Amino acid sequence: MTVFSTERLDVRPWTHDEADLARLYDTYSRWEVARWLGSVPRPMTSPDEAPAVVDRWAARAAGPYGVWAVEVRDTGVVAGTVLLVPLPDHPDEIEVGWHFHPDSWGNGYATEAARGALAHGFAAGLKEIYAVVRPDNAPSIAVCRRLGMTELGRTDRWYGVELEAFRLSAPTSTTG
């Protein structure tokens, strides 16, 4: 089931399919990915963790929200994850985020998938969407800028760690 598609990508739920579980583990067991995630970064240490992660993400899927696999249409490879979820303790503040396998870095997939997630959220009626990034994560900060997000500065409002915050408001329609 595809949640949304972009020019090169199909975004869909993660599954318990063996290939999905292996790719999820291969991505999130890497320190170069995990170091940017969560209040206390921790790479996965066993493939046995992957099914519970898929279940946890599936439980977050409601309305326009979810944590989804980003599949490259031409190859069928899952490049990473894009998410659109309420921020912790602030259910009316929605976050867009992305986590990609290092073999998929540098292809513009994060920007493309995030742009699709933003459009998905705005089409569902969201008025603004945030991104939060660790201050030294220059590639993700660059994605936020490419998306046209407004820089809000550093805050510890959401995950209990200091993060760079960005916001994008829904486009205003002009009729006439």
Helix axes 50-59, 18-28, angle to 10 degrees: 100
Angstrom distance (rounded) from CA 17 to CA 40: 28
Residue 25 near residue 91 (C-beta atoms within 8 A): no
Strand partners, 71: 10, 78
Domains of the chain, start order: 4-169 (3.40.630.30)
Angstrom distance (rounded) from CA 13 to CA 114: 15
pLDDT score, position 175? 54
Closest CA to 108 of 77, 142, 135: 142
Closest CA to 114 of 146, 137, 91: 146
Specify the amino acid at residue 27: T
CA atoms within 13 A on the CB side of 120: 28
pLDDT score, position 160? 87
pLDDT score, position 174? 54
Strand partners, 150: 167
pTM over 0.75: yes
Query: Do you know the residue count of the chain?
Result: 176
Q: Is the dihedral of CA 29, 31, 37, 43 positive or negative?
A: positive
Strand partners, 82: 68, 98
pLDDT score, position 71? 98
Q: What is the pLDDT along the chain (176 residues), one digit of tens a residue?
A: 999 999 999 999 999 999 999 999 999 999 999 999 988 899 999 999 999 999 999 999 999 999 999 999 999 999 999 999 999 889 899 999 999 999 999 999 999 999 999 999 999 999 999 999 999 999 999 999 999 999 999 999 998 899 999 999 998 865 54
Helix (H) or strand (E) holding 30: none
- End-to-end, the C-alpha distance of the chain in Å comes to 37
